[in-house]
């Protein structure tokens, strides 16, 4: 089936990955590498991060529950210390790719985020400012935020919701995300999923699957997950 829509994650796709900031924090505190990612991957449907992104916890509640979870692993870290690490730098080439895709396809964004005003991290706002994030969000035909929808990736339902809003079949969609765990359900529904490992790789893959050669920067290794 021909491509009709391109659906994007936000943080880690339009911005640099927060994982780099996590690792710098861990190193500075003498914590095990990837501790924060490990906490977030434990009990992924009901941990502090999941509850916060579904707006079932406020910032204060997240702070305490994340502390409980990290303490249980032997390394106490407050949630309030983690939230500022979400900030990253914008990727202008990815924004240009979005604009080019918008000229040819429907475009949507599915983002796991926090409710407005909770921890200063809503919409994965970056050091360049929340205003720039708002400008990018305005380019999409549809946006689904986990904190408003009450459901978050990787729940397949959130991908189905986007397809319903865009009025497309999953197999007519391309999906980009920096997390493999979020790409798998998209591919399982029939989407062509691209795991964003690097900006150059993602743009090269996107150019190939959409046929929009102007997107591709240079040759790069592929990370396409077929439907």
Confidence label for 226 from pLDDT (cuts 50, 70 and 90): low
- Evaluated on CA atoms 116, 122, 128, 132, the torsion sign reads negative
Q: Is the pLDDT of residue 31 over 90?
A: yes
pLDDT of residue 115: 81
CA 166/CA 154 separation, integer angstroms: 19
Q: Within a 10 A sphere around the Cβ of 102, how many other Cβ atoms? A: 14
pLDDT in tens, 113-165: 988 655 543 334 444 456 788 999 999 999 999 999 999 999 999 999 999 99
* 180-190 tens-digit pLDDT: 999 999 999 99
42-62 pLDDT, tens digit per residue, is: 999 999 999 999 999 999 999
> In this model, does residue 3 exceed pLDDT 50?
yes
CB 65 within 8 A of CB 50: no
CA distance 63 to 59: 6
Q: DSSP readout, 98-141?
A: HHHHHTTSEEEEEE----TTSTT-GGG--TT-HHHHHHHHTT-S
Q: pTM of the entire structure?
A: 0.83
User: How many angstroms separate the CA atoms of 161 and 180, rounded?
Assistant: 20
pLDDT over threshold 50, residue 4: yes
Q: How far apart are CA 180 and CA 178, in angstroms?
A: 7
Q: What is the per-residue pLDDT across 205-222, written as a single tens digit (0 to 9) for each?
A: 999 999 999 999 854 455
pLDDT of residue 137: 95
* pLDDT on residue 86: 87
pLDDT for the residue numbered 128? 43
| Spatial strand order in the sheet of 142-145 | 142-145, 106-111, 5-8, 173-177, 192-195, 224-225
Mean pLDDT of 194-207: 97
Q: How far apart are CA 91 and CA 181, in angstroms?
A: 22
């Amino acid at each position: 089936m021909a491509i009709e829509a391109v659906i994007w994650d936000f943080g880690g796709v339009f911005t640099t990955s927060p994982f780099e900031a996590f690792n710098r924090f861990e190193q500075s505190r003498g914590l095990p590498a990837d501790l924060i990612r490990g906490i977030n991957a434990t009990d992924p449907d009901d941990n502090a991060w999941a509850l916060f992104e579904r707006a079932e916890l406020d910032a204060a509640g997240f702070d305490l529950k994340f502390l409980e979870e990290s303490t249980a692993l032997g390394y106490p870290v407050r949630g309030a210390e983690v939230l500022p690490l979400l900030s990253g730098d914008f990727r202008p080439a990815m924004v240009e790719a979005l604009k080019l895709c918008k000229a040819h396809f429907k475009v949507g964004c599915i983002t796991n985020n926090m409710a407005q005003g909770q921890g200063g991290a809503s919409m994965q706002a970056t050091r360049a400012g929340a205003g720039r994030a708002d400008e990018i969000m305005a380019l999409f035909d549809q946006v689904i935020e986990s904190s408003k929808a009450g459901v978050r990736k990787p729940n397949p339902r959130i991908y189905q919701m986007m397809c319903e809003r865009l009025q497309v079949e999953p197999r007519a969609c391309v999906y980009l995300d920096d997390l493999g765990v979020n790409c798998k359900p998209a591919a399982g529904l029939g989407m062509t999923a691209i795991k964003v490992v690097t900006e150059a790789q993602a743009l090269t893959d996107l150019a190939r699957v959409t046929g929009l050669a102007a997107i591709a920067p240079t040759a790069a290794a592929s990370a396409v997950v077929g439907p």
